Amino acid sequence: MRILRATLIVIGIIQIACGAMYLAAPDAVAGSLHLQPAAPPWVNWLLATAGARFIGYGIGMFAAARAPSRHRVWINTMIAIQAVDFLATLGYMANGVLPAHHFALTLWLPLLWIVLLSWASLRSRTAAEPDSVDRQTAASGSKSRP
């Protein structure tokens, strides 16, 4: 459970930090992504609104870290988001639209989060769930047999 919680906290910090940059300084983000001057000025609006969502998901990761079993939806949707990020980045790199030297970390970080969240979530779920015999025993109120 510690690995899951630590992973959720790290992802939450990254989401909030990136979200704050996207929200507070969309021009700087657009520049770092090499979007300007080619991108129209309204792209900053898109970046700012994405920043708000990053911050929201960062807060969700902190909520999930406090009680992972109660917040599986946050964990599972983050896994799905990271899968989309990985596949989209891979596809755009394969098409030559994203330069690999500029976005290499963007490719591998989502894969790392998918693996860590999936493994730690599955591990914590199986450790927290009693086996079927224990559940039946608890439901019937009788003692388990050796």
In a domain, 43, yes or no: yes
pLDDT of 57 reads 97
Mean pLDDT on 26-37: 84
Domain contains 41: yes
Token code pair at residue 32 = 């770092």
Q: How far apart are CA 11 and CA 68, in angstroms?
A: 14
Q: Give the mean pLDDT of 141-146.
A: 52
Is 103 or 112 the better-scoring residue by pLDDT? 112
Host domain of residue 78: 2-130
Burial bucket for residue 91 (CB in 10 Å: 0-12, 13-18, 19+): exposed
Does 136 fall in a domain? no
Q: What is the pLDDT of residues 61-110, one digit of tens each?
A: 999 999 999 999 999 999 999 999 999 999 988 998 888 877 777 888 89
Are residues 30 and 44 in contact, defined by beta-carbon separation less than 8 angstroms?
Answer: yes
- In this structure, is residue 12 part of a structural domain? yes
φ/ψ of residue 6, rounded to 5: -65, -40
The structural domain count of the chain equals: 1
**Residue 141 included in any domain:** no
Would residue 104 count as lying in a domain?
Answer: yes
Look at the pTM and tell me if it is higher than 0.75. Answer: yes
In a domain, 28, yes or no: yes
Sign of CA dihedral 35, 36, 40, 42: positive
Backbone angles phi, psi at 142, to 5 degrees: -95, 165
